[in-house]
Structure 1
Amino acid sequence: MISFHQLREAILAVQERPTTLIGGAWTPAKRKELLEAPHLAGLIEEMYEEAERARREPVPLLSFADFQAFHSSGTRKEFEKPYFERRGRLLALALTMALDNSDTYKMTLENLIWEICNEYAWAVPAHLPDTIEKVLTARVPPNRYVDLFAAETAHALAEVLYLVGNRLNDWVTIRVKQEIEHRVFQPVFESAHHFIWTSKTNNWSAVCSGAVGMAALLLIDDQERLAGMQDRVVSAMESFLAGYGNDGCCPEGLGYWRYGFGYFVYWVEMLYEFTNGTIDLLNQDKIKRIAEFPAAVSLSDSSCINYSDCRPTFRPATGLISRLCRRLGIAPPKMTCVPSFHEDHCYRWPFTFRNMMWTETQWLHAPGADGTFYFASTDWLVDKRETSKGLLAFSAKGGHNNEPHNHNDLGHFIIHIAGDTLLADLGMGVYTREYFGKERYDHLHASSGGHSVPIINGEQQAAGEAYRAIVTRNEMDHGSVRFELDLTHAYRPEARIHLFHRSFEWKVCQEEASARLTLTDHFVFNEGTVESERSITEHFISFHKPDISGGEVTWLGEKGNVVLRFEPLELSAHVETVEIPSRDTHPLTVYRLYLHAGQLAQTYTCRLVLSCCCIH
Structure 2
Amino acid sequence: MKTTFIRANNPKAFPAFDPDRVKQIASWLPTQPTGFGKPVSDRQAWEKIASLPGAARTIAKARRDAASPPPELPDELYLEFTRSGNRRRYEVPYFTRTQRILTFAKAEGFLNQGEFMPALEAELRALCADRSWVMSAHDADLENFNRTRYYGDLGATARALLAATVSWWFQDQLPADLRADIKANIMLRVLEPYREVFQTGEIKNGLWWMTTHSNWNAVCTANTVATALTVCDSVEERAEFVAAMEISNPFFLNGFTPDGYCSEGIGYWNFGFGYYLYMAAMVRLATDGKLDILDHPVVENTCAYAKNIMIDKSVAPAFADCAVNARPSTAILWLIQNTHPHTLRQRITIEDTSILKLLAFALIAFAEPTAAENLPPETPTIEPRHLFAEGGVFICRSLHGEQTFGAAIKGGHNAEIHNHNDVGSYLVVINNHAYLVDPGAEQYTRRTFSKDRYVSKILNSYGHPVPVVAGKLQNTGRAAKGVFTKTDFTDAQDTLVIDLTQAYHVPELTALTRTFTFFRTRPEIIIRDEVSFASPQTFSTAVVTFDKLFIRHQRSLTVYDGNGACAVDIAVTGADWTLDSEVIENPGTSNVPTRVGINLTTPVTAATVTVTIKPAPLSDDLPGFYREPDLTGLNPAVNDAITIQAKNIAEETGGAVVREPKADSDEDTVRRLMDWEAHVPLQEPKADSDEDAIKFWDKAGHALTWEFTVPADGRYALQVRACHAFGDGVARHVAVDGAPLNQEDTPFLFPGTGGWSTKTNQWREVWVAHNRKALILELKAGQHRLTMTNADNRGMKLDWLKIVPLP
- Closer, same or farther in 2 for the Cα pair 1:339/1:370, shift >3 Å? farther
Q: Distance in 1 between matches of 2:329 and 2:318?
A: 16
Tell me how far 1:590 sits from its aligned partner.
1.9
RMSD, matched Cα: 3.1
Q: Distance in 2 between matches of 1:479 and 1:100?
A: 60
Are 1:592 and 2:595 an aligned pair? Answer: yes
Moved more, 596-605 or 550-559: 550-559
Return the match for 2:408 from 395, 417, 420.
395
Give the corresponding residue for 2:227.
215
Give the corresponding residue for 1:125.
136
Pick the structure with more helix per residue: 1
Superposed CA offset, 1:366-408 (max 9, x none): 5264221111232011112345424322111111111111101
Q: Distance in 1 between matches of 2:546 and 2:397?
A: 21
Return the match for 1:229 from 241, 248, 271.
241
Q: Distance in 1 between matches of 2:296 and 2:62?
A: 40
Structure 1 unaligned runs (5+)?
none
Give the corresponding residue for 2:531.
523
Are 1:96 and 2:107 an aligned pair? Answer: yes
Pick the structure with more strand per residue: 2
Give the corresponding residue for 1:199.
211
Moved more, 177-186 or 161-170: 161-170
- SS of corresponding position for 1:129: coil
Moved more, 410-419 or 562-571: 562-571
The amino acid across from 2:180 in the alignment is: I
Greater relative contact order (Cα < 8 A, sep 6+): 1
The amino acid across from 1:12 in the alignment is: S
Q: Distance in 2 between matches of 1:250 and 1:96?
A: 37
Q: TM-score, normalised by structure 2?
A: 0.68
Tell me how far 1:166 sits from its aligned partner.
2.0
Return the match for 2:485 from 459, 468, 472.
472
Q: Distance in 2 between matches of 1:198 and 1:228?
A: 14
Tell me how far 1:216 sits from its aligned partner.
0.9
Give the corresponding residue for 1:145.
151
Q: Distance in 2 between matches of 1:354 and 1:597?
A: 57
Tell me how far 1:574 sits from its aligned partner.
3.3
Are 1:186 and 2:195 an aligned pair? Answer: no
Tell me how far 1:472 sits from its aligned partner.
0.9
Are 1:413 and 2:426 an aligned pair? Answer: yes
Give the corresponding residue for 1:612.
615
- Closer, same or farther in 2 for the Cα pair 1:543/1:351, shift >3 Å? farther
Tell me how far 1:334 sits from its aligned partner.
6.8
Are 1:371 and 2:384 an aligned pair? Answer: yes
- SS of corresponding position for 1:56: coil
Contact 1:316–1:339 (CA under 8 A) maintained in structure 2: no
Contact 2:128–2:185 (CA under 8 A) maintained in structure 1: yes
Contact 1:204–1:260 (CA under 8 A) maintained in structure 2: yes
The amino acid across from 2:426 in the alignment is: F
Q: Distance in 2 between matches of 1:24 and 1:290?
A: 33
Q: Distance in 1 between matches of 2:222 and 2:132?
A: 20
Tell me how far 1:420 sits from its aligned partner.
0.8
- Closer, same or farther in 2 for the Cα pair 1:223/1:310, shift >3 Å? same
Moved more, 455-464 or 239-248: 455-464
Give the corresponding residue for 1:504.
516
Q: Distance in 1 between matches of 2:39 and 2:383?
A: 33
Return the match for 2:449 from 433, 436, 439.
436
Give the corresponding residue for 2:58.
47
Q: How does 1:158-557 map to 2 (within 5 A)?
A: 158-191=164-197, 192=200, 193-194=202-203, 195-333=207-345, 349-351=358-360, 353-354=362-363, 356-357=365-366, 366-367=379-380, 369-478=382-491, 480-493=493-506, 496-509=508-521, 514-527=522-535, 529=536, 534-550=537-553, 551-557=555-561
- Closer, same or farther in 2 for the Cα pair 1:499/1:342, shift >3 Å? farther
Q: TM-score, normalised by structure 1?
A: 0.88
The amino acid across from 1:535 in the alignment is: T
Superposed CA offset, 1:583-609 (max 9, x none): 5xxx43322212211214311111221
Q: Distance in 1 between matches of 2:273 and 2:455?
A: 30
Are 1:29 and 2:32 an aligned pair? Answer: no
Q: Distance in 1 between matches of 2:133 and 2:35?
A: 27
Are 1:566 and 2:594 an aligned pair? Answer: no
The amino acid across from 1:100 in the alignment is: L
Return the match for 2:88 from 77, 81, 84.
77
Contact 2:49–2:353 (CA under 8 A) maintained in structure 1: no
- Closer, same or farther in 2 for the Cα pair 1:333/1:156, shift >3 Å? farther
Which of the two has higher C-alpha Rg? 2
Tell me how far 1:468 sits from its aligned partner.
1.5
Give the corresponding residue for 1:602.
605
Superposed CA offset, 1:85-124 (max 9, x none): 1111112111222222232111111111111111111111
Identity across the alignment (%): 23
The amino acid across from 2:402 in the alignment is: K
